[in-house]
Structure 1
Amino acid sequence: MNKPLHQDQLSFVTPYIKKSATKSFHTQASKNQLSDSQSIDTLFRDHWLDVCRLLHKSYGSGPPEPEDVAQEAFSQFAQMKNITEVKNPKAYIIKIAINITLKSIGKLCKVREFIIEQVDLEDVQLNEICPETILQGEQRVTAMQKAIDKLSSKQRDVLMYVRIKGQTYAQISAQTGWSIADICRQLNEAMAILESIDQQVQGTSVSAEDSVNEPDFSLPDNNTNEWKL
């Protein structure tokens, strides 16, 4: 649980991190050409590995993955206007990549805080922490992450907008065109699913623990008055 946050796999956040990474880079590159025959394709070939290596060295293997961030950085650069005026394209692309990475890590931090809040790990007193408590906490966090993956796309979007980005229903409605009533309903359904999964995990843990710790007071098969110890 103490490993760096950026190493945790929170898969439901991935669509928000990659956004346009799946677009064809070469299609975007054809829209803007650098002067002196230095095209975006040339920049891509010359500096792609350097950008990936710098990101990997500075921020690790992800998420967000260095390759995806580099792809997005080159894509954003290709869509800029007046790119011929950029004196140092490589440095500018690296700056874009770093900004994308920091923004993505910030989102992951908020997601992690949200999950921990849902499993009430902050209520655990220090004197109650033991291997069993830590294991149960890890199991609940893992279950919550899997539960989020099972939400519908719309439910995940609403959850992201409200609980992670902190947007109001009105802001989400203006941005997406969804009605406020629908947004409220989707959020309530998502939270109900997450709470149900969390309760199941807690119930499973309690049942397993009780079966080990509780003595068996059932009567023996011969129906005598002796208690089974």
Structure 2
Amino acid sequence: MEFAYRSYREDVRRYIAGTFGAGPPDPEDAVQAAFERFAALSDRARVDNPKAFLIRSARNYVIDQRRRQAVRISYVLSETAVATAVEDRDAERVVSAKERLEIIERTIQTMDPRRQQVVIMNRIHGISCAEIARQLDRSPTLIKALLAEALVLCERALREADGER
């Protein structure tokens, strides 16, 4: 084994450096892996050409390491792309929700005071139509009608805004 190391180490390193460059993986790592594989053989005497075996082993090591690195890079890039897409979608949703809220706010501000008061009490404060009717001393039917009209105005404003986009 020591004879093979002294005889072929530099040849294997030069081959790897010349074929694959300085790395990664480092040519010395490839040489080390090749000799580890050679040392692990139960019957090294059966290897007809130890130098060819060592070069092939080092070459395979480099190829395997580069494939692993490519898979890792691909995984990181895909994870980054997915995270970016999710963040973009979340950001788009936030922007869209803010825009829709602004449209509704402007629409409510332009409503007559009765519709404005009813929609704010019901949709923002969560007060039922029956309770609004009691508090304002109005009929529940009138409160429901005012609320329905206010909601129609809001829905129309949102549809018009969607048509403009």
Using the size of structure 1 for normalisation, the TM-score is: 0.35
Counting helix residues as a fraction of each chain, which structure ranks higher? 2
Using the size of structure 2 for normalisation, the TM-score is: 0.48
